[in-house]
Amino acid sequence: MGNAQSSRAGPRPRARSAQDDAVIEALTQQIRSIRRVDLLDEQEHSYVHVSHEKGIPSTHSTDPRLSLSTTTNWEKHLLSDPKNRLALNALLSNDVRTIVSNKVSTLADTQTFNIKIPFEGSPVTNQRSSGRCWLFATTNVLRVPIMKKYNLKEFELSQSYLFFWDKLEKANYFLEQIIDTADEDLESRLIQELLSAPVNDGGQWDMAANLVSKYGLVPQKLYPDSYNAMNSGSMSSIITTKLREDGLILRNMVAKCKAASDKTRPNKEAELVSVKAKMMQEIHGILTLMLGPPPKPDETFTWEYYDANDKYHSVTKTPLEFAKDMSSPSLVRTLGANVSELFSLVNDPRNNYNQLLTVDRLGNVVGGRGVTYVNVDMATMKKAAIAMLKAGLPVFFGSDVGKFSNSSSGVMDPNLYDYGLAFNINLGLSKSQRLRAGESAMTHAMVLTAVQVEGGKSVRWRVMNSWGDSAGEKGYFVMTDEWMDEFVYQVVVDPSYVTKEIKDVLDQKPKVLPLWDPMGALA
């Protein structure tokens, strides 16, 4: 759902001193030491027999209710273990991730790679407190050919330009879905899902492709971020409330249209169209006042810039012409790919591989490109990503960024946190189980720019994020191959870098997943 930097925002904790760090490290080492003793002891005494230890009564009961005596016994048992008492003292005043962080894993995940694209693009971007990661990942990919063409040191495409039109298109898409589903019960799962987030900040690659195709692109300096682009919560809340109200009005109008006689129905239907147009005008007004009037896709702009050699240039184009350049034959030859042909590979182990998937009623532009995925195994996905990186191409990808990652160190590793150390638990869900249980989904889009390959296998990946240069290592993260296996769901590839067998899947009739499916999550 467009993982926002705001999820990491809030009051900054007091800076830890060297003494604080030493105390935390000592506590952690003591917990680990006692835990090692526990593990040895568990080889002789199974955990299920603990309740029968001397002085601790059994807590097993056939009564399904939770009793005070049961929780009291649990507490006595928990705190009878010195490791747990030590953990209690440590966890009461520290972030659990600090206590259970695997320092060895953190140190091993370095920013060195033997396959790296020669031109990553700069500067590192910052989505601020918004869920626009997919637009930042998209523009970070698309700016590379533009920077090459115009010989630029630094450059950003306007994320806000696409954001404006996406919000407007999503509002229109939502109202059309509400009209189309007016016969559905208001309390049905489908209608409730539609109403849950009519203009979600997040999106998917196919949605971005729709926007670029219809509205083009502009340099960021011509339409920079406004306050409400960088802090989108209030704007989205206002529009969401208005659209929900509008949706109920339109459902009622559709019902009246269907109940009308043949004579009066045309007038009722015309009124419906007119009312919906007025609603869209109001949404356009909110967006214009909060984001600023955007450039028009068919009107020329003049962009003045200095190239990498400090030579002045001026370019006059429409946004549509500016975007179309990326698919010109000369640029395709230079880049080695046609950005207009890129498509998504996903790894969804719940469904058959080499199968085309789509999500019911998921989109942003009415009549535009639908959201489709070619479902493949991880080996196929990695092979395609490596092939693109070898060709010097950045790779858009979608993942569940909140799992086993650290935004300060910029490390993404399933071994990063040892929760078993603190809580004596095992977190052993498979990727498929996490999807089925609602434990994981695509929450954030980023860009791959490098990979370390050893013995023919990928080991770690370099990730360009959009949380500013203070996150990770100057804005870049390192992702272990194991983390990719578990928490990466999508990469966007050029057809040239996959087999014919994979390309042929695009011609299949897609399996339609419901709107609430985790593959419908918006990064």
| Annotation says 257 is catalytic | no
Q: Which residues pair with 399 in a beta bridge?
A: 444, 488
* One-letter identity of residue 30: Q
Nearest to 370 by CA among 171, 132, 209, 141: 209
Active-site residue, from 3, 133, 228, 406:
133
444 annotated active-site: yes
CA–CA distance, 275 with 180 (Å, rounded to integer)? 16
Please list, in sequence order, all residues whose beta carbon lies within 8 angstroms of the beta carbon of residue 222, skipping any fewer than 6 positions away: 158, 295, 301, 303
Cα–Cα distance between 346 and 354 in angstroms, integer? 10
- Provide DSSP, 474-519: TTEEEEEHHHHHHHEEEEEE-GGGS-HHHHHHTTSPPEEEPTTSGG
Query: From CA 339, how far away is CA 342, in angstroms rounded?
Result: 5
Torsion of CA 51, 57, 61, 66, to 10 degrees: -100
User: What b/e string do you get for 182-208 counting C-beta neighbours within 10 Å, with b at 16 or more?
Assistant: beeeeeeebbebbbebbbbbbbbbbbb
3, 347, 364, 465: which is the annotated catalytic residue? 465
Residue 257 structure tokens: 């249209």
Whether 465 is catalytic is yes
Question: Pick the catalytic residue: 3, 172, 375, 444?
Answer: 444
Catalytic machinery residues? 133, 444, 465
